[in-house]
């Protein structure tokens, strides 16, 4: 990695930069209880939380719901999550040091997420990250969210950096695919929300990190 020219770094949000699983799992379990269903263990929910509300509902309620039932359940889940969006969510251990390292070396960083804007902004505000990020691109701000590269191109444009001089860091195959399609170097986070069926080696990331602290070490190599 020593020969990487890096003018900017982009992060996925859920499962890469911020550990949002506790609050998302709490929202699902509150929704299950509201509908007289049994709560799920946190370890069961965690791998699925970055796949969005629909995936969480399928996990908790199965796929036999009518459209009307699904929408009612989804509205409750999202409402609960909005009201408790940063109760326990926080930067992964070591990630603030990584951000501070980039800021110290005047390397801009941004966030590219498929999470909608109305959930992303309140979370980042609560964590006091909004003004630190040079770009925040959400899934509903583009026509084609990840794995399409459109949102990454937009972030690079906002940060005035060339994609081939940037890095995208994520914990899902769609992240790495989007980063590679956009021409960025990619780092896959095995500490994120990985399901049993995910084979991180198949994603063809330029680098893998198994613990958040390894990200800082990786970033130190090219600054």
Task: Say which of 3, 14, 63, 206 is annotated catalytic.
Answer: 14
Task: Say which of 3, 12, 63, 206 is annotated catalytic.
Answer: 12
Asked if the bond preceding 147 is cis, omega within 30° of 0, the reply is yes
117 catalytic per annotation: no
Burial (0-12, 13-18, 19+ Cβ within 10 Å), 94: middle
Question: By C-alpha distance, which of 10, 114, 138, 111 is closest to 52?
Answer: 114
State residue 166 phi and psi, 5-degree precision. Answer: -130, 165
Nearest-angstrom CA–CA distance, 45 and 60:
9
Kindly write down the DSSP assignment for every residue of 38-60, as one continuous string.
PPPPHHHHGGGGGG-HHHHHHHH
14 catalytic per annotation: yes
Q: Which residues are catalytic?
A: 12, 14
């Amino acid at each position: 990695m020593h020969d990487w020219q890096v003018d900017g770094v982009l992060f996925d949000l859920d499962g890469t930069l911020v550990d949002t699983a506790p609050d998302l799992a709490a929202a699902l379990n509150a929704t299950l209880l509201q509908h007289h269903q049994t709560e799920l263990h946190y370890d069961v929910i965690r791998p699925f939380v970055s796949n969005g509300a629909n995936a969480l509902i399928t996990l908790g309620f199965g796929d036999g719901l009518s459209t009307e039932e699904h929408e009612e359940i989804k509205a409750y889940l999202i409402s609960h999550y909005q009201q408790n969006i940063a109760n326990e969510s926080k930067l992964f251990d070591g990630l603030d040091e990584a951000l501070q390292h980039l800021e110290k070396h005047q390397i801009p960083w941004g966030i590219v997420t498929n999470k909608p804007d109305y959930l992303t902004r309140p979370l980042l505000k609560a964590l006091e990250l909004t003004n630190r990020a040079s770009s925040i691109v959400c899934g509903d701000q583009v026509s084609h969210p990840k794995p399409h590269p459109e949102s990454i191109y937009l972030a690079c444009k906002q940060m005035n950096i060339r994609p081939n001089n940037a890095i995208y860091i994520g914990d899902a195959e769609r992240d790495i695919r989007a980063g590679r399609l956009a021409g960025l170097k990619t780092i896959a986070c095995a500490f994120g929300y990985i399901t049993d069926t995910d084979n991180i080696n198949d994603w063809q990331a330029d680098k893998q990190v198994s613990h958040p602290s390894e990200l800082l070490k990786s970033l130190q190599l090219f600054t």
